[in-house]
Amino acid sequence: MAWTRNVLRVNLTNKTCIKEPLKMEWAGLYLGQRGLGSKYLAEEINPKVDPLSPGNVLIMATGPLTGTPASTAGRYSVITKSPLTGTIACSNSGGFIGMEIKNAGWDMIIFEGKAPSPVYLYVENERAELLAADELWGKSVWDADEWLHNRHQDPLLRIATIGRSAEQGCLFSGIINDLHRAAGRSGVGTVMASKNLKAVAVRGTKGVGNIKDPIAFMAAVKAGKKLLADAEVTGEGLPKYGTQVLMNVINEVGAMPTRNFRDVQFEGAENISGEAMHVPRKADGKTNLVTNAACFGCTIACGRISTIAKGHYTIDNKPRYWGASGGLEYEAAWALGSDTGVDDLDTLTYVNFLCNEDGMDPISLGSTIAAAMEMFEQGVIGIKETGGIVLKFGSAEALVKVAELTAKGEGFGRDIGLGSKRLCEKYGRPELSMTVKGQEFPAYDPRGIQGMGLTYATSNRGACHLRGYTVSSEILGNPVKTDPLATEGKAALVKAFQDATAAVDSAGLCVFSTFAWTMADIAPQVAAACEGKWTEDTLLQTGERIWNLERQFNLAAGFTAADDNLPKRLLKEAAKTGPAKGLVNNLDKMLPEYYQLRGWTDQGVPTAETLARLAV
């Protein structure tokens, strides 16, 4: 279904749930999900608001294609102001809850204010009510999910909930839906906790409808699915290995951040790779990977379902981890693995399960522990601070202990829950934090993939690969191969990826579809579903409009061009091995051209002409 044209506004302070019409003039400009949610947020809050105060707003938004038969169209996004970065935040998740919200008849749910005591939102089509969650508070994601299914006696209820880490104030807590899909980054779960909102439980039975031209839509959808099936990455690589297909590839090109970005290649990469997940273990003869899995309507099915070997030290006497659950994706495997120097696949799977169970972003968790490990090795912190944990790179046991403490908000885990930037500042070593705008880096060292340095520096939600994945071009050659070690042409490449991604995120599609689809393949699907004129050009312009809207929000929040930067390590310390040996990231060669291409001043501010051209 395209837009339902309905917004559910939930005022937690007053305990009201009110239906209001979607602002269609904004939908025409910002499409849906990330774009439209960002527009609502920018209009409704003061950009300088304390993210954890009742004045912040949390928006769960679907795209016009969410819930339709289009492949990968099961997405939804959570938009708010981030407590980790202070920027605008938008975290995107798959699974089934986005589809369910749409089937219940809502384009978005806006949460404002703060409940006086814990509540959850129950939605059954038109019916929406806030119910007491005192019994739920303090429960993990998995326990809360079970409690809600039992309470409502409905196995098809779709649930998004926070875990204990968010309740404890961990600044990188996400919102987990369907047990192991996550709106993971930027602390959106921490905002939800600050509102005393534990969960959202949705049942929608209204079905699919409101497609502008159903025959044209199904023809475009069919053509899109064929492209996904025929392409090597989406038809073979991702279903077989998941995003973990990247582990060995990125390591070989020397862009695998290792031990807090001290190195760019990890000697243990093969042990924690997608290929390793298929190899029978010595311990029990079974493979880590049980099967692949798909989000709603997705024909790629990149998800991993995994087990840990019976008897593994991490799960001794913990029967709840003896079954299969959402396994390692590449970003989690990297952050928990090579960044901490740990190469035990089952240990990483366990910590990933913990992240799902208690709602932590594994990228920020692993990266923050890596920064703590470096400070421990340098003697900046010791066992007095860690509570007796010998926090050395490569120590699987230390990784597990600290992750468990962070999940519960206890001991040194409270320090880790601050995130890398605040942790390193607390102990007087801010330069050891591998972050941009306070958000931890994902799994691509920008000394070996130059365009990613510019992507990180200019990302509107802090360091992120999902705001412009130039790895696709620089490493995988999609849609055209560019030299990862060159800076020429990267400003234009980054801008093009950023704008296209914003449009894909706003349509309700998964960004992984773009390994096979260009905007020429997406435009017919959007055009057939939605009223208005949706072409390749208008979609890209919509993406550019969204990017500028997000930028305007951040500037109003107090960010400046000085924040479009990278940690000194990546600009001054050359890569020691691999194809990028001897190179640093040359951000200074790309940034001025990027500002110019964006139509911004040399201080990174959109000009009046740019804002008028885009109707921001």
Q: Which residues in this chain contact ligand SF4 in the complex, by CB under 6 A?
A: 72, 74, 94, 294-295, 298, 300-303, 510, 512
Residues 6+ apart with CB under 8 A from 573: 584
Give residue for tokens 């779709």: 158
Q: Between 231 and 315, name the residue whose CB sits nearer to ligand SF4.
A: 231
CB of 491 to ligand SF4, least distance (A): 28
CB of 513 to ligand SF4, least distance (A): 7
Distance CA 338, CA 444 (A): 12
Residues 6+ apart with CB under 8 A from 488: none
CB of 302 to ligand SF4, least distance (A): 3
Q: Between 218 and 294, name the residue whose CB sits nearer to ligand SF4.
A: 294
Eight-class DSSP state of 182: E
Please give the structure tokens belonging to residue 470.
């130039």
CB of 376 to ligand SF4, least distance (A): 35
In 3D, which of 501, 553, 554 has the Cα closest to residue 77? 501
Q: Between 174 and 606, name the residue whose CB sits nearer to ligand SF4.
A: 174
CB of 590 to ligand SF4, least distance (A): 29
Distance CA 173, CA 559 (A): 23
Distance CA 549, CA 555 (A): 10
CB of 296 to ligand SF4, least distance (A): 8
Element (H, E) at 246: helix 246-252
Q: Between 182 and 434, name the residue whose CB sits nearer to ligand SF4.
A: 182
Strands 6-11 and 108-112: parallel
CB of 298 to ligand SF4, least distance (A): 3
Eight-class DSSP state of 465: S
CA distances from 288 to 147, 291, 304, 428, 494 (A): 29, 9, 10, 40, 36
Residues 6+ apart with CB under 8 A from 319: none
CB of 198 to ligand SF4, least distance (A): 25
Written as one string, the DSSP assignment of 27-87 is: HHHH-SHHHHHHHHHHHHS-TTS-TTSTTSEEEEEE-TTTTSSSTT---EEEEEE-TTTSS
Q: Which residues pair with 526 in a beta bridge?
A: none
Q: Between 302 and 616, name the residue whose CB sits nearer to ligand SF4.
A: 302
Dihedral of CA atoms 23, 25, 27, 30 in degrees, nearest 10, equals -120
Q: Between 40 and 512, name the residue whose CB sits nearer to ligand SF4.
A: 512
Q: Between 73 and 528, name the residue whose CB sits nearer to ligand SF4.
A: 73
Distance CA 303, CA 6 (A): 31
Q: Between 47 and 94, name the residue whose CB sits nearer to ligand SF4.
A: 94
Distance CA 405, CA 414 (A): 8
Q: Contact 518/540 with Cβ under 8 angstroms?
A: no
CB of 517 to ligand SF4, least distance (A): 12
Q: Between 243 and 307, name the residue whose CB sits nearer to ligand SF4.
A: 243
Q: Contact 459/599 with Cβ under 8 angstroms?
A: no
CB of 243 to ligand SF4, least distance (A): 8
Q: Between 324 and 561, name the residue whose CB sits nearer to ligand SF4.
A: 324
